[in-house]
Structure 1
Amino acid sequence: MKKIGGFINPWGNGHFTRMMALDEVIRQNAGDDLDIHYSSSGEIYQKLLKKFPTKKENLHNITIPTPIDGKCGPSITLSLFNILLPVAGRKPLVSVMAKYLIAEGKLYDKQKFDLVVNDGDVGSNIIAEKRNVKSIFITNQFRPKLWVSRSFFYPAVMYISKKIAKATKIVVADSPPPYTICEYNLNFPERLKKKIVYAGHFSNNITVNHGPKSDLEKLIKNADNFGYWMITGNKSTNKATFTKYEKVFHDTEMNNERRIVSHAKNDPSLDKVLGKNGKTYSISEAFEKNIDWIQMDVGFLSEQEKDTV
């Protein structure tokens, strides 16, 4: 039986979402002839436990160094201080990094992986090269272009890109040029292009067996058009994005623009509908009262609702 190791960066939900989409496709095509292990930490490790409750022996809780959250994404200042000093309850990065690499190295030695898939975990990519294990690195950034004010990050960007380049294959979670979401994020040298695969955005191609329509689907059925706004990322990025969206929604031009806002959080309390009358309703209440709505907030869309929206 072949053995695959999946190493997931815990900073943000995108890494987890992509890996779970890949997991589903792998299992559909390989059946039970695979032994798949996953490694991550924090909230992502908890999600793995929830998704694979009968496979706990295949889930490994290894703390992966991540930036410290600020008001709008990572706090550069606090993260730099944390390299050598404890900050916000976190141990110095140098000690965490050492323990993390040792723990992942031991996992490699124990499991003897035939293939590893690293989504954002550069350390695992380094270990795979040293142990001659075939590796796939999933990313949507490679040597991103920096603003002049961030040019001091250039050495770190070059170092990380150099280590990503060691992978057997690099899978880009984006469309190939010139259709990439942000061309400034992808700057591959010519020598690497043979090992690069553009996989789109890991969209779900599974055929959904449609059941009875939900109240959300019924509510949008007669809407001429509406926008779809998604909030993703870690806690601070999520909050900052929502704040920016709220600012846009208050612009005069948005007064009559219907929109669905997906928060990518498993929290039913987020589900609500704002009517054009300024009142707030539950989704079911808005449907029952046939409310003329302007904004619908949803924690998570079901697979059927995603297909409909």
Structure 2
Amino acid sequence: MRVMILVCGEGLGHTSRSIAIGKELASAGHDVHVGAYGYSMELIQRKGFKAYEIPSEITLVGKAGSLNMKRSIVATFKRGQFLGLIKIRKLLKRTRPDMVISDSYFMGMVSARTRGIPCYLIVNQSNMEEFFKGKGVSSKILAEIVRISYTGLFKMPDKVIIPDYPLPHTVCRKNLEFQDKTWDKVLFSGPLIGKTYDETTAEETERPHVLCTIGGFGYREPIFRKVIEVAGMDGSINYTLLSGPGVDPESLGDLPENVTILKFIDDQFPYMKASDVVIAPGGHSTMMEALSFGVPMISFPDQKHSEQQNNALVIEEDGLGKKLDYSTSPEDILKNIRLLIDDEKYRNKLTEMREMAIELNGPKAVRSMVEELQKGR
């Protein structure tokens, strides 16, 4: 079976879970092709997949820790990315896949439908109109247009795959809203992560250990620097911080002895397995990775980013970690780190989530589903 996976490149979470599915399908002997763009495409090529450059679908606009979805949609229309449908149709005509898996890349789903190709959509949010709540009359109108548009789009795929734990354990549950007919074709696959807990050898680090994936560039820099300050307050806890390629670690000055700064990790799973706490924004994929490895989280969701805010809220409500914000003091951050390291109830809950992820085996669940559906055709 020839499979085309089309990836939204806005954030590497889409990329990592698409790679997980691609590896699973390829291991079963299927011919896997991947369409992506930007750094996402580079990463996919390094993993050895047949990759094709596709047009980006949405331009994200924001500042000071806030995503402005209204301006993002306007910028997307101005750049004319939606004309990329023609390019995607040509790609599908040239590669002739038996099926398309589209990870939040709606042009791919629409293009597959117009060519009569079975399509499976991966999403972890369906209530995009949440971005516009409480932002004036024009935003309310735009929110309604977005709601109607996505209601129609979610009718198109043969299956909608939610890369999360099944209800009631679903972390992205506050971001899901479908009509009844769409719910009938929803699969909660379980986490789709690039490497399982048992496949991973832990990095050699001194424990307790905290992995921080916040990054030190742009509007997240204050949190990054605050974590360094927190590390200096308690030398018994060790930290690995990912600064991102745009930050020179030497520009950060003298660092506490218990801090290691890395620009980038191509494989962060060994560090995750060696960690007692993960500090991250509110991205869904990082949360799935941490929970699958049984590690509690401290989440700093982007301001006014409703999806991340909801994810972080569920993490706290379900006893899987803590939701903090940009104004949280270093003293309170350290207090919460110690709590997650020392409190047995968090360790027990996270062990349950790790074992559940192993049992669900998300990539295998997706492969089994699409093989069965394609066999029926």
Identify the residue that residue 16 of structure 2 maps to in structure 1: 17
Residue 198 of structure 2 is aligned to residue 207 of structure 1 = yes
- Write the distance in 1 (CA, Å) between the matches of 2:68 and 2:119: 31
1:126-148: CA deviation from partner (whole Å, max 9, x where unpaired): 12222221111111101246232
Q: CA deviation at 1:105?
A: 0.5
Amino acid at match of 1:122: F
Q: 1:123 to 1:153 in 2, by over 3 A?
A: same
Q: Select the residue among 30, 37, 60 that pairs with 2:52.
A: 60
Unaligned runs of 5+ in 1: 85-91, 282-290
1:111 positional shift: 1.9
Going from structure 1 to structure 2, the CA distance change for 1:271 and 1:60 (only over 3 Å counts) comes to farther
Cα-to-partner distance string for 1:42-88 (whole Å, 9 max, x where unaligned): 22122223332xx6xx321121232144323645465355356xxxx
Mapped to 2, the partners of 1:4 and 1:264 lie a distance apart of: 35
Q: What residue in structure 1 maps to residue 273 of structure 2?
A: 307
Conserved in 1, the CA contact under 8 Å of 2:206 and 2:238? no
**Superposition TM-score, scaled by structure 1 size:** 0.70
Distance 1:197 1:271 in 2: 47
Residue of 69, 72, 77 corresponding to 1:79 = 72
Aligned-partner SS, 2:156: coil
Is contact 1:249–1:255 with CA below 8 Å preserved after alignment?
no
1:51 aligned to 2:52? Answer: no
User: Does structure 1 conserve the Cα–Cα contact (< 8 Å) formed by 2:151 and 2:179?
Assistant: no
Which residue does the alignment assign to 1:286?
none
Deviations 1:195-219 (A, max 9, x none): 1111233233263364xx75xx242
Alignment of 1:271-290 (within 5 A): 279-280=254-255
CA contact (8 A) 1:143 1:158 kept: no
Question: 1:240 corresponds to which residue?
Answer: 219
* Residue in structure 2 matched with residue 179 of structure 1 by the alignment: 169
- For structure 2, the 5+ residue unaligned runs are 276-377
Deviation, 1:93, is 2.8
| Preserved CA contact (<8 Å) 1:67 1:79 | yes
Q: Is the 8 A contact 1:144 1:187 kept in 2?
A: no
Is residue 2:186 matched to residue 1:193?
A: no
What RMSD over aligned residues (CA atoms) do the two structures have, in Å?
3.6
> In structure 2, what residue type is equivalent to 1:231?
I
Map of 1:70 onto structure 2? 62
Which AA in structure 2 matches 1:15? Answer: H
Q: How far, CA to CA, are the matches of 2:2 and 2:163 in structure 1? A: 23
Q: CA offsets, 1:164-184, max 9 Å, x none? A: 331111111222333222432
Contact 2:19 2:44 (8 Å CA) reproduced: no
Residue pair 2:6, 2:103 contacting (<8 A) in 1 also:
yes
Alpha-carbon separation, structure 2, partners of 1:6 and 1:62: 11
The aligned residue for residue 230 of structure 1 is 213
Distance 1:9 1:128, change over 3 A: same
For 1:37, give the aligned amino acid.
Answer: H
Map of 1:219 onto structure 2: 206
Question: What residue in structure 2 maps to residue 263 of structure 1?
Answer: 242
Conserved 8 A contact 2:164-2:172: no
User: Who is 2:102 aligned against?
Assistant: 118
Q: Aligned pairs, how many?
A: 264
User: 1:142 aligns to what SS in structure 2?
Assistant: coil
| Amino-acid identity (%) | 17
Q: Which one-letter code corresponds to 2:183 in the other structure?
A: K
Change (3 A) 1:127 1:68: same
- Name the SS of the counterpart of 1:156 in structure 2: helix
Deviation at 1:188, TM superposition (A): 2.2
TM-score, L = length of structure 2: 0.59
Contact 1:65 1:93 in 2 (8 A): no
- The answer to which of 256-265 and 188-197 deviates more is 256-265
Q: State the structure with more CA Rg.
A: 1
Q: Please identify which structure carries the higher helix content.
A: 2
Q: How far apart in 2 are the matches of 1:271 and 1:201?
A: 36
Q: Distance in 1 between matches of 2:210 and 2:79?
A: 41
